[in-house]
Structure 1
Amino acid sequence: MTDATESRRDGSTRRTVLRGLGLTAAALGLPGLAAAEGDGRGGDEGTERTAEPYSLPPLPYDYDALEPHIDARIMRLHHDEHHKGYVEGANAALDELAAMRESGEFDRIKAVKRDLSFNLSGHLLHSVFWRIMSPDGGGDPGGDLASALRRDFGSVEGFKREFAAAATGVEGSGWGLLVYDHLAGRLLVTQAEAHNDLAVQGATPLLVLDVWEHAYYLQYENDRTAYVDAFWNVVDWSAVDAVYRAAASARRPAESN
């Protein structure tokens, strides 16, 4: 396989993934992420792109707003250091890709594409994570989302049990996710190791929970179960419902070709 063929196939796969993430971003008011398609800089199959580099979005609330469930120390470190690092890593990967296109030398393409996948996925998931939490969160979902959860998991409590088990059981570092699968038109609970491994291609993330140790260790130490239990107190179900309605109303990938 040539470098050009691999690059085209990689770009096609990434656009499929970002289509789902773009629906999430648009529903949560993150237009910069919604537009994140292609590599952000340089050409894409002959079409020049002028998108700005990725940037760290501000928290939509104060660092201490989610206390006592997630304390201010964690939020400051998590957002200002860890999330910022993923933004910088994604932009560095874009710079390397632009340099490769300029020079015509693609000997590091595999490593740089891996860096882009890891860092950009981390940036996207964290951007969603901040927005689906709120100091006024908690309780149970209602409306269309609640109906869909009952349809696909038997009950809202059944969904919560499955999600908590998946998030708690992530091997090493990663995420628990509720996603909308456009192919089947249904909800799924999935895991992601790191930010990008085990991902369901093209699915739209609705509810995401970071279970890397940096997300909870300062407060909960090694008790991930207690952290996952506390998470339900800050979930902004209205935000999750908005993403669900946007995803459910979108055409399936095969119908948009």
Structure 2
Amino acid sequence: MEMIPLDYNYNDFDFLSEENLRNHYEVLYKGYVNNYNKVLEDLKFARETNNFTNIKCLEKNLAFQGAGAVLHELFFENITPNKVEAKGEVLEKIEKDFESFDSFKNQFISNITNIEGSGWGILGFSKSIDKLIILQAEKHQDQTIWDFVPLLVIDIWEHAYYLDFITDKKAYAEKMFDSINWNVVEKRYKNL
């Protein structure tokens, strides 16, 4: 796995400091990518030597590091310093499944601000019920639905907001919501 490039500069967001975004991308996200690749190498070595004494630890770490890397990629791709309005098929689906865009926004922000500890707020699509649903993912890989495809991801781990918002998760969530790149969300929805 390789790191994805950002489509914006570290200082492009008016509510996130350059230091925050730089650390988020260059230290945390990079760490997940590197650790994921390391675990893949460790698993390869375990197979080559037929030594699976640490397999539970390796597989658990693979899920944690891999999910951390992928969720950060989805997050970095679906935020923008430029206001982009929701439109098209994804807006129609949001209005159908959540009654209105405002109702969705209120539920999504409430979801983010009520995560216990660290995690992710995710809007995704469940193929089995043909609905958009909002999930909280703690520790990257916990609390998921297996046919769930993430469309929109917001990082609510402390590293994402603490430097700029201290403990005000709601203010961070509202600013992040206004920074969603709905073109990316629409593209993900159309590619289901």
User: With structure 2 as the length reference, what TM-score do the two structures score?
Assistant: 0.97
Who is 2:71 aligned against? 125
Aligned letter for 1:108? N
Shift of 1:71: 2.0
CA-to-aligned-CA distance 1:194-231 (integer Å, 9 cap, x gap):
11100221311111000000001110001111100111
Q: Secondary structure at the match of 2:191?
A: helix
Superposed CA RMSD in Å reads: 1.0
Which of the residues 54, 59, 84 maps onto 2:6? 59
CA-to-aligned-CA distance 1:97-149 (integer Å, 9 cap, x gap):
001101111111000001000000010011111111112134x4111111101
Which of the residues 158, 172, 179 maps onto 2:103? 158
Is the Cα–Cα contact under 8 Å of residues 43 and 58 in structure 2 kept in the other structure?
yes
Who is 2:88 aligned against? 143
- Determine if the alignment matches structure 1 residue 203 to structure 2 residue 144: no
Number of residue pairs matched by the alignment: 192
Identity %: 33
Who is 1:218 aligned against? 163
Is the Cα–Cα contact under 8 Å of residues 69 and 233 in structure 1 kept in the other structure?
no
Shift of 1:72: 1.1
Is the Cα–Cα contact under 8 Å of residues 177 and 206 in structure 1 kept in the other structure?
yes
Shift of 1:184: 1.1
Runs of 5+ in structure 1 lacking a partner?
1-53, 248-257
Is the Cα–Cα contact under 8 Å of residues 119 and 155 in structure 2 kept in the other structure?
yes
Distance, in Å, in 1 between the alignment partners of 2:135 and 2:102 is 17
Which of the residues 51, 57, 71 maps onto 2:17? 71
Who is 1:97 aligned against? 43
CA-to-aligned-CA distance 1:132-172 (integer Å, 9 cap, x gap):
1112134x411111110111001001111111111111111
CA-to-aligned-CA distance 1:57-95 (integer Å, 9 cap, x gap):
2211110112x1222111100000000110111011101
Superposed, which structure 2 residues align to 1:177-188 within 5 Å?
177-188=122-133
Please identify the structure whose Cα radius of gyration is greater.
Answer: 1
Superposed structure 1 runs of 4+ greater than 4 Å apart = none
Shift of 1:233: 2.1
